């Protein structure tokens, strides 16, 4: 599945809303903030934003690599996320050392914890 333009959080107030109204989940190499979508915003798909600060991650190369890795994980697993939520991924220095399969496992665990599948 593609990471489409409507799947991006873009404006600072959107990021601030997710952080103020959402729940936080620590995943080791990154922190995941999850908040329900505000009323009046169409919920065709879940949206995500990515943050990597200079103090937490490092230089521009490291920050861009961290955000690229987090975008790829979100793209691969966005079908596990309800369409009416917004997410903010905050990269940490430990993300640089995580293997790709470990990053996938940690995000899968976070999705299982935050969005439990209802038993039919």
What pLDDT band is residue 51 in, cutting at 50, 70 and 90?
Answer: very high
Is residue 76 within 8 A of residue 37, CB to CB? The reply is no
Q: Residue 68: its pLDDT value, please?
A: 92
Structural domain for 41, as ranges: 5-114
CATH code for the domain in which residue 89 is found: 3.30.230.10
Q: Does residue 65 lie within any of the structural domains?
A: yes
Tally of domains in the chain: 1
Q: What mean pLDDT do residues 5-25 have?
A: 86
Task: Sheet with 85-91: list strands edge to edge.
Answer: 23-26, 30-36, 85-91, 47-51
């Amino acid at each position: 599945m593609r990471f489409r333009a409507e799947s991006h959080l873009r404006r600072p107030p959107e990021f601030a809303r997710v952080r103020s109204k959402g729940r936080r989940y620590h995943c080791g190499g990154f922190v995941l903030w999850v908040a329900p979508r505000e009323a009046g915003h169409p919920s065709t798909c879940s949206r995500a934003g990515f943050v990597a600060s200079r103090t937490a991650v490092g230089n521009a190369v490291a920050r861009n690599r961290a955000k690229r890795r987090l975008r790829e994980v979100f793209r691969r697993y966005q079908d596990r996320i309800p369409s009416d939520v917004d997410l903010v991924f905050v990269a940490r220095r430990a993300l640089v050392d995580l293997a790709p399969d470990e990053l996938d496992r940690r995000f899968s665990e976070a999705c299982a914890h935050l969005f439990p599948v209802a038993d039919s």
